[in-house]
């Protein structure tokens, strides 16, 4: 057996926890129906004998209603047990909770699985079928990719849409060389390619070196 799962029903079963801990294998401890004091007691008993402990936040309801999931316990467990991996034993009838739990810090996920939700038995109706499990795993794998690196910059995928949608300063009407620009002479229109709108104050009061037709870009080299 490569690892052992201690169910929520045995959160207070210290003799069993110690027996499993002495085997030296990784342990996944579900915490449904327990208090933080119960979790501390169990973790203390296990960690004295075995450091390979993952703590799973859990609500021992089958299925669990959204208002009872209390996923905010996950950061509390991380603060209480900073050296342990925190996860989620998920009894939700769906796949949303895992992604939310990941964002809160969970890194191990237990989910009930079935080949057919119509099978008889208490767990099948809220378990995931193969396609549902694939979607949950897909969503979890997308999260770190979607989070990115935290640096704000113009992405390659943005450049083409921005060229079409962004605005430029253009002539609002036909203008002659030597004309001094006022706000009435300038319009702000798509696409980009000319001066951006934040340069408006910079060009007002400047004289034109060349003639501009309506909607021509106003460029710095067009000005005296």
Least confident of 75-89, 111-125, 175-189: 111-125
Which structure tokens are listed for 161? 């849409």
- CA distances, 83 to each of 78, 104, 165 (Å): 8, 16, 49
pLDDT computed for residue 122 by the predictor: 86
- Do 134 and 209 lie in one domain? The reply is no
| CATH number of the domain where residue 59 is located | 3.20.20.70
State pLDDT tens for residues 84-98: 999 999 999 999 999
Q: Which domain holds residue 184?
A: 156-222
pLDDT computed for residue 92 by the predictor: 95
Task: Give which of 181, 224, 173, 185 is closest to 204, Cα–Cα.
Answer: 181
State pLDDT tens for residues 195-205: 999 999 999 99
Tell me the pairing of strands 186-189 and 168-171.
antiparallel
- Do 63 and 119 lie in one domain? The reply is yes
Which has more pLDDT, 86 or 1?
Answer: 86
Which structure tokens are listed for 190? 């798509």
Distance of CA 81 to the CA centre of its chain: 23
- Do 55 and 122 lie in one domain? The reply is yes
Point out the domain boundary residue: 97, 124, 147: 147
pLDDT computed for residue 65 by the predictor: 96
pLDDT computed for residue 145 by the predictor: 96
pLDDT average, residue stretch 209-214: 97
How far apart (Å, rounded) are the C-alpha atoms in residues 192 and 211? Answer: 20
Look up the pTM and report it. 0.84
State pLDDT tens for residues 119-131: 999 899 999 999 9
- Whether the Cβ atoms of residue 61 and residue 91 lie closer than 8 Å to each other: yes
- Do 71 and 166 lie in one domain? The reply is no
pLDDT average, residue stretch 185-193: 97
Domains held by the chain: number: 2
How far apart (Å, rounded) are the C-alpha atoms in residues 99 and 219? Answer: 48
State pLDDT tens for residues 28-41: 999 999 999 999 99
State pLDDT tens for residues 100-122: 999 999 999 999 999 999 999 98
pLDDT computed for residue 84 by the predictor: 98
- Do 160 and 216 lie in one domain? The reply is yes
Which has more pLDDT, 52 or 1?
Answer: 52
Ramachandran class of 37: left when φ > 0, alpha when ψ lies in -120 to 50, beta otherwise = alpha
């Amino acid at each position: 057996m490569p690892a052992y799962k201690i169910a929520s029903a045995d959160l207070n079963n210290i003799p069993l926890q110690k027996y499993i801990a002495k085997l030296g294998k990784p342990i996944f401890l579900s915490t449904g129906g327990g208090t933080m004091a119960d979790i501390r007691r169990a973790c203390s008993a296990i960690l004295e004998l075995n450091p390979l402990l993952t703590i799973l936040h859990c609500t021992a309801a089958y299925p669990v209603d959204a208002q009872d999931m209390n996923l905010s316990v996950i950061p509390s467990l991380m603060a209480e047990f900073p050296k342990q991996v925190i996860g989620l034993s998920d009894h939700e009838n769906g796949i949303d909770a895992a992604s939310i739990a990941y964002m809160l810090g969970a890194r191990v996920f237990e989910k009930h699985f079935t080949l057919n939700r119509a099978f008889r038995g208490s767990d099948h109706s809220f378990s995931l079928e193969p396609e549902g499990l694939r979607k949950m795993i897909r969503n979890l794998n997308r999260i770190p990719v979607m989070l990115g690196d935290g640096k704000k910059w113009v992405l390659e995928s943005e450049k083409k849409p921005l060229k079409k949608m962004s605005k430029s300063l253009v002539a609002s009407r036909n203008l002659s060389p030597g004309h001094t620009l006022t706000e009435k002479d300038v319009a702000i229109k798509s696409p980009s390619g000319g001066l951006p709108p934040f340069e408006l104050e910079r060009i007002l009061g400047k004289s034109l070196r060349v003639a501009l037709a309506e909607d021509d870009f106003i460029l710095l080299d067009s000005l005296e």
